[in-house]
Structure 1
Amino acid sequence: MNNAGKLRPGGAITALVTPFRDGEVDGAALEDLVEWQVLSGVDGLALCTAAGEGLSLSPRERRMVLDICIRTAADRIPVIAAAGTNCTESTIALIRDAEECGARAVLVTVPFYSKPGQKGIVRHFERIAAATNLPVLIENAPARTASDLTMETLERLAEFEAVVAIVDSTGDIARFANLPPALRQRFRFLSSHDAAALPFHLSGGDGILSAAANILPRLVTSLQKAAYGSHISAAFALSDRLLPVVAALGPEDDPARLKYALQILRGTPSDLRLPLVPIESDSRFAIAKSLAPFIGCSVARMTLSI
C-alpha cells in the first residue's frame, strides 16, 4: 500500500475519553473536549482507546465519535483511531471504517486474549499493513494482552512500510533504551505512561500517548515541547507539577478517574459503562486535592459527590 507522506507521530497525543450522558454518547460534550484539546496545543488525538472505552462502543457509536472528532479537529491536528481487536479481519474492518471517516492513522494493539504467539502477531500486522493506506501505530501492552513483542518480532515488523510507530505500554525504560540503533531509527516510539514521560524522552523517545492530557493538556504538551527543545530544567519543573495529578489518577487509562477529574475541571459528565463504576470517595478526594493548584477552589467544594 502507498503510505507516501505518512504521519510521523510524536509530542503529546491525548488518549481522549468518550463522554456519555444517560447511556448515550454525549456529542456536545465530546465536541467541547476536542475543541479544548486543539486550543490547548496537543499534537494529536487518539480515539476509542481504553481511556475512551472503545470496546464498549457499538459500531454506530464508534462512527459517531470519529465523525464528531474529525469534523471538530478540522485538520488542525491529526486524529488517530484505535482499531485493534483479537481478530485480524475485524481489525481490518475497523481500519477501513476509520479510513472512510477521515482518520489520519490507526492505533492497533497486539491481539489480546487469544495470545497468538510471535509468528501470529507478525502475520496479523502483515495482513493489516497490506490492507490499508493509513499509517499504523502498534500498541504493545502485555499487561492487557498477555503477549509481548520480542526483538525479533520488532525486526520483522520493521519490514512493513505502513507500521510507523510503536506505543510502549510496558513502562520498561531500560528495555526501550537498549533497543538496537536500527530499530530506534526505523520507528517512532511513544510511551503511554505519563509518570515516565520525561525519562522516556531522555532515553530517546518521541512522545507520549497520554491519558493525563485529558485533564491538563497544556501542561503535558509544554513538558514535551520543553524536553524536545532540550530545556531540561524546565521539563523537570513541568514534570514535578504534573506528577501529583498522575499519581492521583492511578492506573493508566482509567476512564472513571479521568472522567471524575474532567467533571471537576469542566463539568463534563462522568457517566461510565459497565463493568466500569464510579471511583470511591478516597480516590475522589485524592484527585480533587491534586487538581486544587490548577483551579483555585477549595478541596471541600471539589469533592461534592457526583
Structure 2
Amino acid sequence: MFSGSIPALATPFRDGVFDESAFRAFIDWQIAEGSKGLVPCGTTGESATMTIEEHNRVIEVTIEQAAGRVPVIAGCGSNDTVVALEHMKVAKAAGAAAALVVAPYYNKPNQEGVYAHFAYLAERCDLPIMLYNVPSRTITDIETATMARLAALPTVIGVKDACGNVARVTAQRLACGAGFCQLSGNDDMALGFMAMGGVGCISVTANVAPRLCAEFQAACAAGDWDIALQLQDRLYPLHAALFSDASPGPVKYALNRMRNDFSPDVRLPMTLPSAASRAAVDAAMEIAGLT
C-alpha cells in the first residue's frame, strides 16, 4: 500500500499557533518534489505538545490539501489506548489511508500489553494500522514474535521500523510474510533497510530534501544500487546534521532557510538548535546541493 519517500512532516508554528497556510504550501511542495505519501502528527511533527484539537486539525488539513494526490498516514499514537482509538476514529473520518501507531511509551507494557494495545485498536476501528517501533524513544520494543502476532490481524499492514537493527527487516519478513509493509524509520540506515527487503522510508530528511530522498528511494526500488549509494553519500551528512540537536529544531532551522514562510519555532521543551548544530546543518545542506 505504501512505498517510496514519505516525509514525517514538521508542523509550522508561528507565535505559538499552528500556521495552516504555511503548512498547506509545504504539503504542495512535498508532493511536487516527489514524496509518495505524508505523515502528519508524528515525532517530527511535535504531536507530543499538541492539544487534541490541534492534532485533529493538522491531520484534517493534511488530507484536505493532499486531495488524494498521495496517501496520508495519520499519526495516531498515544500511551493511552483509548486516546489512540479516538485519534484513529478522527483520522478515518477525515479520509486517512492508514494510522501510524507508536508502541505505548512511558508505561513500559510487557509484550502481552503491547499486543493487547494494538489488538484493542484493530478490533474497534478498521482503519489500517502501521505499527511504529522506536524503542529509543518509547523504551518498549515490539519484538519480532509479537509483531508476527499483530501481522495476523487483518488491519495491521506493516511497520515503520526505527529499532536501529537492520537485521530485523529479514526477521520480520520471515515472521510476518513478504506482504507485510516495512518502512524504514531511520534515514541513515535506509540503504541497508531497502536492500534487505524494505519498500520505503518515513523520513525526517525528506522534509528538507524531498526530491533527493524520492530519487534515492526510486533508485533502491529499481535496484540501481550504485546510484542509491551516490545519493546516500550525498544525503548522509544531512541525515546526521538534522539530529545534531534535539529534533525537530535542526529540521525547522533548515526549512526556514529554504522557505521563508516556514517558521523555525518549536514548542517547549524543545528549543532552537545550538550554533554548532546550525553550522552542521549549513554544511550538510551545501554538500547536498540545497543552497
The alignment's TM-score, normalised by the length of structure 1, stands at 0.91
**Bigger shift: 178-187 or 154-163?**
178-187
**Structure 1 runs not aligned, ≥5 long:** 1-7, 297-306
| Offset of residue 251 of structure 1 | 5.8
Count of residue correspondences? 289
Q: Does 1:173 align with 2:155?
A: no
2:47 is matched with: 54
Matched-pair contact (CA < 8 Å) for 2:191–2:220 = yes
Tell me, yes or no, if the aligned pair for 2:144 and 2:175 is still in contact at 8 Å.
Answer: no
Percent identity of paired positions between Structure 1 and Structure 2:
36
CA distance in 1, matches of 2:200, 2:189: 11
Write out per-residue CA displacement over residues 53-97 of structure 1, whole angstroms, 9 at most, x where no aligned residue.
012111221222122211111100011111111111111011101
Is the radius of gyration larger for structure 1 or structure 2?
Answer: 1
- Where does residue 133 of structure 2 map in the other structure? 140
- The CA distance in 2 between the partners of 1:67 and 1:178, in whole Å, is 36
Give the drift of 1:247. Answer: 1.6
CA distance in 2, matches of 1:185, 1:295: 36
The within-5 A match list for 1:28-107 is: 28-107=21-100
| Aligned-partner Cα distance in 1 for 2:61–2:245 | 25
Superposed CA RMSD: 1.5
Q: 1: distance between equivalents of 2:149 and 2:244?
A: 31
TM-score (norm 2): 0.95
Matched residue type, 1:136 = I
Matched residue, 1:212: 205
CA distance in 2, matches of 1:35, 1:244: 26
Structure 2, unaligned runs of 5 or more: none
Match of 1:116 in 2: 109
**1:158: how far off?**
1.8
Aligned residue for 1:44, secondary structure, equals coil
The Cα shift of 1:295 comes to 3.9
The equivalent of 1:194 in structure 2 is: 187
CA shift at 1:10, angstroms? 1.6
Report the counterpart of residue 268 of structure 2 in structure 1: 274
How far is 1:123 from its partner? 1.0
